[in-house]
Amino acid sequence: MRELKRVFKYASTYRILIFFSITFAVVSALLALYAPIIAGNVIDCIIGEGDVDFVKVKALLIRMGLVVLISALCQWFMYGVNNRITFGVVRDVRNDAFDKLKILPFEYLDSHPQGEVVSKIIADVDQFADGLLMGFTQLFTGIVTILGTLAFMFYLQWQIAALVVILTPVSLFVARFIASRSYSLFKDQSVARADQTALIDEMIGNLKVVKAFGHEDENQIVFDEINENLAKTSLKASFFSSLTNPSTRVVNNTVYAFVALFGAFVCISGKMSVGELTIFLSYATQYTKPFNEISGVVTELQNALACARRVFDFIDEEPETPDVSDAPDMGIVKGNIELENVEFSYDKERELIKDLTLSVKEGQRVAIVGPTGSGKTTIINLLMRFYDVDKGSISVEGNDIRKLRRGELRSNYGMVLQETWLRTGTVKDNITLGRADFTDEQIIEAAKKTHAHSFIKKLPNGYDTVIGEDGGMLSQGQKQLLCITRIMLNIPPMLILDEATSSIDTRTEMRIQRAFQKLMAGRTSFIVAHRLSTIKEADRILVMKDGHIIEQGNHESLLADGGFYSKLYKSQFEH
């Protein structure tokens, strides 16, 4: 019921369309109920052998043709309106899901496979749409047909109508019994489908790694297990749900047989004509038919609601902490940053950063080094407020970043990561990120500073060359150069370089380092690097281990101390 209420809430936006849908359904159903009356009257015009009122039969058949035509047109309009309602609701659900995706905390995205999230927004919503469309299409006409046939049957012969009503609950009980058990099976099917989507997404994204390590057979085994599980759950769900229609048909055919038998005795007694019995039998069929259709709708609806549950649970996930309403403007940012007694861990049961205090003045170049897992990138995540600190505070220009607007804070950082991000579009679009306030001369000048201009000129259409998703056929180094060019184009007051030159050859790296020196002049910069040769010129070097700063100073002083940094440096340059 929770999912149904949620669906009705979305559908309430389309009240006018729902009104038209119900209107068309009512007209179509009533006309469909009127057609058997005409047919019965035609039969009663056949009085006996050679005694047929053809004039009346002709008029009745013309009327029946018009009734059937208008009924068909109403159904056609109803289907069109229902499509608008269904896909409007689906669009709104997807919009809400995508809006939630944009404000979900990184904790959620880091703890759920990408394929699972994609499956919820795409596959589950598609399944939800199929069930919803069938529901809107058949539910209205089914309910109107049932109520209309009951009214006509009670008007014609209340005893037979009462017999039909008494036997009806059996059909409803069977449908409810099966539907209640098929919901959990369809929910399992959705979970298995999401697991399969997640595996395929991961496989495609890391195909080079899979082939490089010869992991195809192992992945095939995992895929076969998930695929087999999906096949079993789908088979169970489909088999169990498919019992609904034949079970209700058995009950409905039994009702039809009782109506025919009882009606025959009434005809023999002279209380009903053959034409009226024909009308009644037609109504008995029309009365039971919606139950078969609705039972099918209920089956599809169970699948739809199981998928809707996953989508709505996703939409209901806790968003990241919203920006405070009275957030102050940052004003002119010079790059003064303070970290006071900061504590943070991804897994609250495993300590990572504890009691971290750091003061960075404007224009300082701060390098962060240390072994893998020491907390280097975590500090960057905290500075950018991708995660909020558990304890302590981080301030920029004396303002606690938790009291600042995230967008304004992040706009004051320029960020180049080890992992590149490029989208389908021209080289120019990827450099400007679609902004139109840069001239071609500015873009070319920025590309020359990063030494990207030379390879861009060699592309088929230069800066207007369209590259595919994630850079297409560009090398990893070329992709990185484009990302660095973005920063060169629009230099903010603070910079974060997280292994920014890790994918670039040594010669180009030396050139870019010189460009970075110009770029960082007068700007607060954080440089995360494994290659210690790239941070010699840093004003301060923070040496991290197990979430703590164990050493800090400049390159010369740390070497002279002979501590952890000295050992790291010598391991890279002395053999």
- Check residue 281 and give its pLDDT: 77
In whole angstroms, give the CA distance from residue 375 to residue 389: 13
* 317-86-189 Cα angle (round to 5): 55
- Check residue 66 and give its pLDDT: 92
132 burial level (CB within 10 Å; 0-12, 13-18, 19+)? buried
- Check residue 502 and give its pLDDT: 64
- Per residue in 418-429, pLDDT (tens digit) is 777 888 888 898
Query: What number is the average pLDDT over the span 367-394?
Result: 86
pTM of the model as a whole: 0.65
Distance in angstroms between the alpha carbons of the first and the last residue of the chain: 70
Nearest residue to 404 (alpha-carbon basis) of 343, 331, 345: 331
Query: What number is the average pLDDT over the span 85-99?
Result: 88
Q: Is residue 136 scored above 70 in pLDDT?
A: no
- Check residue 53 and give its pLDDT: 75
- Compute the mean pLDDT over every residue in the chain, rounded to the nearest whole number: 81
- Per residue in 296-338, pLDDT (tens digit) is 666 677 777 778 888 888 888 888 888 888 888 888 888 899 9
53 vs 551, more confident: 551
Distances in Å between the Cα of 154 and the Cα atoms of 161, 283, 289 are: 5, 11, 18
Nearest residue to 102 (alpha-carbon basis) of 311, 315, 325: 315
Q: At what angle do helices 15-44 and 274-315 cross, to 10 degrees?
A: 160
Whether the CB-CB separation of 125 and 307 falls below 8 Å is answered with yes
- Check residue 199 and give its pLDDT: 82
- Check residue 73 and give its pLDDT: 93
In whole angstroms, give the CA distance from residue 88 to residue 84: 6
Ranges 98-112, 127-141, 146-160, most confident: 98-112
Residues in Cβ contact with 503 at an 8 Å cutoff, skipping those fewer than 6 apart: 418, 420, 476, 477, 479, 480
- Per residue in 183-220, pLDDT (tens digit) is 677 778 878 887 888 788 778 777 777 777 778 888 88
Q: Which two three-digit tokens encode residue 237? A: 């769900």
Phi, psi (degrees; rounded to nearest 5) at 542: -100, 125
- Check residue 21 and give its pLDDT: 85
Tell me the pLDDT band of 77, cut-offs 50, 70 and 90. Answer: very high
- Per residue in 226-263, pLDDT (tens digit) is 888 888 888 887 777 777 667 777 777 777 787 778 77
Q: Is residue 575 scored above 60 in pLDDT?
A: no
- Check residue 515 and give its pLDDT: 67
- Check residue 246 and give its pLDDT: 76
Whether the CB-CB separation of 192 and 225 falls below 8 Å is answered with no
In whole angstroms, give the CA distance from residue 6 to residue 308: 9
CA Rg value for the chain: 36
Whether the CB-CB separation of 488 and 446 falls below 8 Å is answered with yes
- Check residue 172 and give its pLDDT: 67
Residues in Cβ contact with 504 at an 8 Å cutoff, skipping those fewer than 6 apart: 477, 480, 481, 512
- Check residue 394 and give its pLDDT: 92
User: Strands of 399-400's sheet, edge to edge?
Assistant: 353-360, 337-344, 391-396, 399-400
- Check residue 564 and give its pLDDT: 85
Query: What number is the average pLDDT over the span 277-296?
Result: 71
- Per residue in 270-282, pLDDT (tens digit) is 777 777 777 777 7
In whole angstroms, give the CA distance from residue 186 to residue 306: 6
Q: Which two three-digit tokens encode residue 142? A: 């089914």
Q: Which domains does the chain have, with CATH numbers?
A: 2-315 (1.20.1560.10), 337-573 (3.40.50.300)
- Check residue 485 and give its pLDDT: 86
Owner of token pair 């400049």: 554
